[in-house]
Chains A and B, each alone.
Chain A
Amino acid sequence: MASDEAALTLAPARPAPWRDPKLRAIAYQIVFVAAVVGAVGFLVHNMLGNISRQNIATGFGFLRKEAAFGIGESLIPYSPADTYGRAFLVGLSNTLYVAALGIVLATILGTVMGLARLSGNWLVAKLAQIYVETFRNIPLLLQLFFWWGLLNTAAPAPRQAWQVLPDVFVSNRGIAYPVPVASPAYKWMALAVVVALALLVPLRRWAAARQAATGRQFPRGWAGLGIVLGLPLIVFVAFGAPFALSVPSLHGFNFSGGSAVSPEFAALLLGLVIYSGTFIAEIVRAGILAVSWGQSEAAMALGLKSGQRMRLVVLPQALRVIVPPLTSQYLSLTKNSSLAVAIGFPDLVSIANTTMNQTGQAIEGIAMIMAVYLFISLSISLAMNLYNRAVALVER
């Protein structure tokens, strides 16, 4: 009896229900969720009422109807007789194409400019700084209009086209450039590159084993480069070096031969690359500056050459700082490609916009765009997170 009483007094006093943190947490959440659901429900209720009042069609049935509008450029076959669904796919492929190309080119431009800003060469560093400060502070949309205006109105007709490089012509019809004539040899050369890349793995393993056993280094980089370039070259020569350029030449009012990109595509790509390049340059610069100078000094004290110092000591540490912000730059480049709608390049948003205007089904159109961009965003962040995990510091 006495022990029971002691146990009772020792147990912590239960707080009153309205003071119990657990109960309060549950109550707060119920109120919050109820408020959010109520607000969303109110909006959806209004929307349903408006839809039935205005006789707006709903559902995704329109995707199977005939689109009946032409699309200027397309990676997959398309004609106006195709469905809205097909048109949507055309837009998606155009978006992915311009975004992928933009990411690669912006990374190259940004890295070069970021390194140039750190250069000991005063002139080069200043030029890179001027590039970054100029193009970072002007809205992308304005830059797109500028490049488009330059290509579309300020550039001459094909007859007086500017020849910027040998056989590369800029006119108001776009940029025409030479391409190699297709040949069966190229397919085999591509295969040779794949084989060469596969050969690098055993080479690397062998070189590492040899260095561990004998201490002698093997020039892995040069040997690898030799294999990757040499093997396709052998294939190329074995096929009798079938190299011919298809060069654009003036034919009537436009160029024929070679290949060409439209002013819209060129302006979009140029704008995206130049604008994102400024941000990537700053990211690269900050990443390299973040590696303390002591690391470089230590590498020099160990007797590493400047290339080794960069590759083995500075870059691996800089990449850790660079990758997360670089990811968000890639994401915003992809999202910014949606500005294509303003200069008439048929990307996803532009085609969805036309579809919405024709069918009046804004909700479905916007939902589809959002779903696609969310999917792209999440995929890029997933891929970059995996990469980031690979280069992240392993703490012991």
Chain B
Amino acid sequence: MADIAQDIPVVRQAPPPRSTRALGWLRVHLFSSVFNSILTLLAVGLLAAAVPPLVRWALIDAIWSAPNGQACHAGGACWAFIGEKMRFILFGRYPADQEWRPIAVVAIFIAMIAAACVRPLWGRRLAVVWFAGLSAAFLLMAGGLPGLRPVETGLWSGLPLTLILAVIAMLFGFPLGVLLALGRRSRLPAVRGICVGYIELVRGVPLITVLFMASLMLPLFLPAGVTIDKVLRAQVAFILFAAAYLAEVVRGGLQAIPKGQIEAADALGLSYLQRTRLIVLPQALAMVIPPLVNTFIGMFKDTSLVLIVSLFDLLGATEFALTDSNWQGFAVEADVFIAAIYWSFCFFMSRYSQLLEREFNRGKQR
């Protein structure tokens, strides 16, 4: 092969440039036709109308420090409000002298999520890391050990609560979702019917009704004398909700497994449990990792709904901070600030899921 290549004189040349540098780029990308030119001018006009006032509001006219809200109304953004309320927005009603604990919990969660994104770590080691991390986070939040004052769940709030609700919902919802997906694919009509009924019921109603149900009806469902605290109620709702959505994601993976795999497992004499555990699930679950990340993003955004059942997650704490009579009328600033927090989490995770999708599909691209 090498000889042949040497025999034929191939001169590798870049294609001729379509046009000159900057002007050519402009012509190709912005003014390729009359219609495109009009679009470009419209877009430039839109930017010219929108960007300068925004910059003026957010930066030039903004007030960065002020003693109180009255001194902060000058036409620009009042970032002093964020400085004043940052602690409350992030950690809410958690005791102020114990602030290092929620900070450590957030750091642990971010480290765990980061670890889960490193593919060489996938496997048993990651499970151990997660187990240790979750135990540490729970101990830090709840306290009760010598040296750690107990803090009741009613005071858990802000970013740690958001992260806890989303992560625990996924962790506990996932096994439930796998079982539901297997049940939905089962050959036993009674099992299939009940699983389909559950999945369609939960997916057919808004999350908010599941939350209402958990917060209003769960206490009624429990035996007399058993009480269940508010955070746990919301957490149960999120787990039940996540399970139904995860079941559909997992079902996608189950359906994508070639029939030959199952027939081969049967031919080897594997039982249903062996076949599912050794042949079906490993392949199905690997296939659905990118959509699982997307479901996690959805859950992360959905945790903001707990505000409606009066819990103080990141959004709830912010809305509460806005009721301070000394600092009135800064809703837009506060919303922009926490939007940036939510956005950075979700954007990073969605980029990661796109990357995974590309890597997983590499074998299929020719």
Contact = CB atoms under 8 A, between A and B. Distances in A.
Interface string B210-236: 001100110111111000000000000
A142 B46 CA distance: 25
A331 B315 CA distance: 25
Interface stretch (A67-75, A115-123, A189-197, A198-206): A115-123
A369 B315 CA distance: 25
Contact of B206 (A127, A149, A336, A353): A336
B40 A338 contact: no
A141 B318 CA distance: 12
A74 to B, nearest CB: 21
Interface in A352-396: 353, 356, 362-363, 366, 369-370, 373-374, 377-378
Given A47-B221, A335-B206, A373-B209, A121 B347 contact: no
Contact of A29 (B189, B204, B212, B342): B189
Contact of A338 (B209, B297, B304, B347): B209
B224 A49 contact: yes
A295 to B, nearest CB: 19
B209 A149 contact: no
25 contacts: A25-B187, A28-B188, A33-B194, A49-B224, A119-B39, A121-B30, A122-B30, A123-B30, A127-B47, A133-B347, A136-B350, A137-B297, A137-B343, A138-B346, A142-B338, A146-B332, A146-B335, A149-B335, A336-B206, A339-B308, A341-B208, A363-B217, A369-B209, A373-B205, A374-B204
A46 B222 contact: yes
Interface string A125-168: 00100000110111111110110011011100000000000000
B246 to A, nearest CB: 15
Interface in A28-52: 28-29, 32-33, 36, 43, 46-47, 49-51
Given A153-B329, A339-B305, 6 more contacts: A50-B220, A122-B30, A136-B346, A141-B305, A150-B332, A339-B308
Contact of A139 (B302, B336, B347): B302
A53 interface: yes
A322 interface: no
Given A124-B40, A137-B342, A145 B319 contact: yes
B301 A140 contact: yes
A99 B217 CA distance: 27
A179 interface: no
B206 A373 contact: yes
B194 A123 contact: no
Contacts of B347: 133, 137
Counting chain B residues whose Cβ lies within 8 A of the other chain, the interface size class is: 35 or more
A51 B343 CA distance: 44
Contacts of A356: 216
A121 B315 contact: no
Given A138-B339, A363-B220, A339 B208 contact: yes
A28 B187 CA distance: 11
Contacts of B223: 46, 49
Contacts of B221: 43, 46-47
A206 B219 CA distance: 68
B127 interface: no
In the A-B complex, the 4 residue pairs with the smallest Cβ-Cβ separation, listed nearest first, are A149-B331, A137-B346, A122-B29, A335-B206
B128 interface: no
A374 B198 CA distance: 12
Contacts of A51: 220
Given A134-B343, A145-B315, A366-B212, A378 B220 contact: no
Given A127-B43, A373-B206, A120 B36 contact: yes
Interface of A: 25, 28-29, 32-33, 36, 43, 46-47, 49-51, 53, 119-124, 127, 133-134, 136-143, 145-146, 149-150, 152-154, 335-336, 338-339, 341-342, 349, 353, 356, 362-363, 366, 369-370, 373-374, 377-378
B145 interface: no
Contacts of B168: none
A196 B191 CA distance: 53
Contacts of A121: 29-30, 32, 36, 39-40, 43
B126 interface: no
A189 B125 CA distance: 71
Given A339-B305, A373-B206, A138 B342 contact: yes
Contacts of A53: 224
A2 B188 CA distance: 41
A47 B220 contact: yes
Contact of B304 (A122, A127, A141): A141
A369 B308 contact: no
Contacts of A336: 206
Interface string B193-208: 0100000010111111
B190 interface: yes
Of residues A121, A124, A378, which shows the largest number of chain B Cβ atoms within 10 Å of its Cβ? A121
B285 interface: no
A349 B29 CA distance: 48
Interface string B90-129: 0000000000000000000000000000000000000000
A91 B36 CA distance: 45
B126 to A, nearest CB: 25
B350 A153 contact: no
Contacts of A29: 188-191
Contacts of B187: 25
A46 B223 CA distance: 5
B304 A139 contact: yes
Contacts of A49: 223-224
